[in-house]
Structure 1
Amino acid sequence: MPQPTEPDPQLLSLLACPVDKGPLIHVPAEHLLYNPRLRRGYPIRDNLPYLRPLDALTLDDIRHQEVLSRVEGGVSPAS
Structure 2
Amino acid sequence: MTDDVAKPGAESVAARHGVDPKLLEMLACPLTKAPLSWNAQTGELISKAARLAFPVRDGVPIMLPSEARTLEQEEFSR
Please indicate, yes or no, whether the TM-score normalized by the shorter chain is above 0.5. yes
Question: Taking every aligned residue pair, what percent have the same amino acid on both sides?
Answer: 32
TM-score w.r.t. the length of structure 1 is: 0.73
How many residues are aligned here?
66
TM-score w.r.t. the length of structure 2 is: 0.74
Instruction: Say if 2:42 is the partner of 1:30.
Output: yes
Question: Once superposed, what is the RMSD of the aligned Cα atoms?
Answer: 1.5
1:28-72 deviation per Cα after TM superposition (whole angstroms, max 9, x unaligned): 11101001122100011111111011111101212323xx3xxxx
- Higher relative contact order, structure no. (Cα contacts within 8 Å, ≥ 6 residues apart): 1
Residue aligning to 1:45: 57
Larger gyration radius, structure 1 or structure 2:
2
Question: Structure 1: which 5+ runs fail to align?
Answer: 69-79
